[in-house]
Amino acid sequence: MISVQACLDGILLGILFALIAYGMALQWGVMNIINIAQGDLVILGGYIAYFMYLYGIHPAWGVIVAPVIMYFVGIAIYKLVINKVVDRDLFISILATFGISILFMQLMNFAFGADVVLANSDYGTTMLFNNNVVLPNSKIFSAFISILFAICLVIYMKKSKLGRAIRATAQNARAAKILGVDTEKVYAATFGINAALCGVAGALISITFTIHPYMGLPYTIRSFMIVIVAGLGNLPGVAMSGMGLGVFEEFADYILGTEFRIGSVFLLLVLILIYRRFKLSRKREYLK
């Protein structure tokens, strides 16, 4: 029964990871930037929901408020930093977003304190299989909301004008520019949408799990891992590998102990990269 519990927990958790990873895949595909501050944007979104909880508003409304605020935060980051590193060497953008990550981490530490917090949603729990499997309703709620947002975003990307512009820029930025797409605006919007997705995910994480100013980096690494396993622009793959990662994490938690949970995530990333490197090197190719 423990394994059923771990599987279900992992799948519900993995859907959340997939939402964050989708944002990362979006900006990676469009702007060719790996945002190390991704996880810190998630945590910031979580704190928005937490503050609503502190002021007596139900934290579930954070799912609507956080993305709106985070969208503008994302645009601000883009205008201040990212637009100067878009066309440059990839390492520059990694290092610049690493700087943003440290900055956010510390500012959140000042503003919200270094305590582990969670926003209590009072959703109760669901018992399954003769009460052997306990699922908090908040986890089911968060998985449902993530799927909802992902579907909305996919439809938006397919149907709207901006969505088409974003996809065109991802395919070929220069050609899109020639054909009259304002790529600067598209980049800003992409970064904003990514930040908004992080905001949603963060609000859900603050309801279901806990948040802490320094917990951002593992979320970045998880989303990076999901994207490299699934590949860019492969949405079902992102969802599947997100769930797989969630299940892996829950099992690692049970088998190795909670103190090795984050460590095993980072180690898994290294192992996946090494596996892919050896697989590709047989064909004399490499990850780039």
Partner 1 sequence: MKNNLILYIGILILGIAAPFIFPAFKVQLSILCVLIVLATTWNIQGGEMGYNSFGNILFYGLGMYLCASVQVGMFFPLAEWTESGGEKTFVHTPAQFFQGMAVGLIVAAVVPTIVAGLIGYSILGLRGHYFAICTLGLGVAAGEISGGIEIIGAGQGFTTPPFPDVGSLDSRGEFFYFLSFFVLVLTFVTVRSIYTTRFKLILNAIRDNEDKAEAMGIETMKYKIIGWMISAFFCGLAGGIMGGLVGYIDSTDVAFDGREMGVFMVLMAILGGKGTLWGPIIGATVFHIFKEGFWTFFLGWQYVALGVLIVVIVIYFPEGIMGWLREKYPERFGEVVDEKDRKAQVELK
Query: Two tokens at 175?
Result: 């050609």
Q: Does 103 bind partner 1 (CB under 8 A)?
A: yes
Query: Two tokens at 212?
Result: 């802490």
CA atoms of 179 and 199, how far apart (whole Å): 33
CB 149 within 8 A of CB 203: no
Residue 127 or 287 with smaller CB distance to partner 1: 287
CA atoms of 164 and 161, how far apart (whole Å): 5
**Number of C-beta neighbours around residue 83 at 10 A:** 15
Site string for partner 1, 224-263 (x = CB under 8 A): x---x----------------------------x-xx-xx
Give the DSSP H or E segment for 133.
Answer: strand 133-136
Site string for partner 1, 118-157 (x = CB under 8 A): ----------------------------------------
Least distance in angstroms from the C-beta of 88 to partner 1: 8
Give the DSSP H or E segment for 127.
Answer: strand 125-128
User: SS3 of 126, please?
Assistant: strand
Q: Does 114 bind partner 1 (CB under 8 A)?
A: no
Of 58-66, 107-115, 122-130, 165-173: span binding partner 1 (CB under 8 A): 107-115
Q: Does 76 bind partner 1 (CB under 8 A)?
A: no
Residue 38 or 206 with smaller CB distance to partner 1: 38
Q: Does 100 bind partner 1 (CB under 8 A)?
A: yes
Q: Does 162 bind partner 1 (CB under 8 A)?
A: no
- State which of residues 123, 248, 254, 266 lies at the interface with partner 1 (CB under 8 A): 266
Of 9-17, 84-92, 145-153, 233-241: span binding partner 1 (CB under 8 A): 84-92
Least distance in angstroms from the C-beta of 110 to partner 1: 8
- State which of residues 105, 207, 215, 243 lies at the interface with partner 1 (CB under 8 A): 105
Q: Does 44 bind partner 1 (CB under 8 A)?
A: no
Q: Does 288 bind partner 1 (CB under 8 A)?
A: yes
CA atoms of 76 and 192, how far apart (whole Å): 9
- Which residues, including other chains, have CB under 8 Å from residue 129's CB and lie 6 or more apart? 1, 4
Give the DSSP H or E segment for 223.
Answer: helix 216-230
Q: Does 219 bind partner 1 (CB under 8 A)?
A: no
Size of the site for partner 1 (CB under 8 A): 44
Nearest residue to 153 (alpha-carbon basis) of 59, 25, 47: 25
Nearest residue to 231 (alpha-carbon basis) of 240, 221, 219: 240
CA atoms of 74 and 237, how far apart (whole Å): 26
CB 23 within 8 A of CB 191: no
Q: Does 85 bind partner 1 (CB under 8 A)?
A: yes
Question: Residues in the site for partner 1, rule: CB under 8 A?
Answer: 34, 81, 84-85, 88, 90-92, 94-96, 98-107, 109-110, 217, 221, 224, 228, 257, 259-260, 262-263, 266-267, 269-270, 273-274, 277-278, 281, 286-288
